[in-house]
Amino acid sequence: MPLLHYLDQGDPSARSLVILHGLFGTLDNWQTLARRWAEEAGLRVVSVDMRNHGRSFHSPEHSYALMAQDVLALFDHLALDPSRLTLLGHSMGGKVAMTLALGYPERLAQLIVADIAPRFSNMEHQDDIIAGLQAVDLSAIQTRQQAEAALARTIPQPGVRQFLLKNLYRREDNSFAWRINLPALVENLAAVGEEITAAQPFIKPTLFLRGGKSDYITPEDKLTGIPVLFPNSQVVTVPDAGHWLHAEKPEEVFGLVKNFVLM
């Protein structure tokens, strides 16, 4: 399997922080914070494009088991020291991070999960986004504004449209294309909603960050779902943040992650 595309920043001998983005995202979504954690917190920060996203390879297969293996291969390639490695994942990336931590606890020192719980999701909240992406006729559009207008028919939030448009790029022949492998992601959407389970809990330090205005981590998750699998965990709420808490409250997320990694 090809290696995931990644960006490696900061002091190679420092503690490492590996960042996994969410569905339809790219490593660019975390770039501002990644640079700050490298420059201001003194960390080695590795931001990753997951399979079927960004500049990483496309595959018809898209599951948490496979994505965890992709990340483990990157750990090997970079020879990251497990005793000094923190894995951070947001949303889909958070479920990849949980899968890896539960299956291979010896490969990392601690875990950060941003605004996702291990429980099952029916993924219905993605229906409008998928409808919007599929409504963009890539063969007909000539400008990014035309693409945004197509998205706007089903996606009213400007911020979500701008997030999705980061996936749009011009090919050498000047036509537009998506960096995401949209057919594969649509085909495997149910797998993205799957519950994360394990025979044994992950007992190393774990930080769950939840957006105060997001419902991706519920009170029930905090009481039962999370502590069963992650008994050595804390759930910290970022006030006034939605699901994209790193974009909405970067200062708070910067400090919480820095303090947890360096504690």
Other CB atoms within 10 Å distance of the CB of residue 223: 11
Residue 18 contacts residue 73 (beta carbons within 8 Å)? no
Alpha-carbon span 164 to 153, nearest angstrom: 14
119, 221 Cβ separation under 8 angstroms: yes
CA pair distance 92, 174, nearest whole angstrom: 31
d(CA 174, CA 172): 5
Identity of the amino acid at 8: D
Going through 1-100 in order, the beta strands assigned E by DSSP cover: 6-9, 16-20, 44-48, 85-90
Q: Which residue has the tokens 């960042």?
A: 19
CB contact at 8 A, 260 and 110:
yes
Per the listing, tokens 């943040």 go with 241
d(C-alpha 126, C-alpha 189), whole Å: 9
The catalytic site residues sit at 91, 243
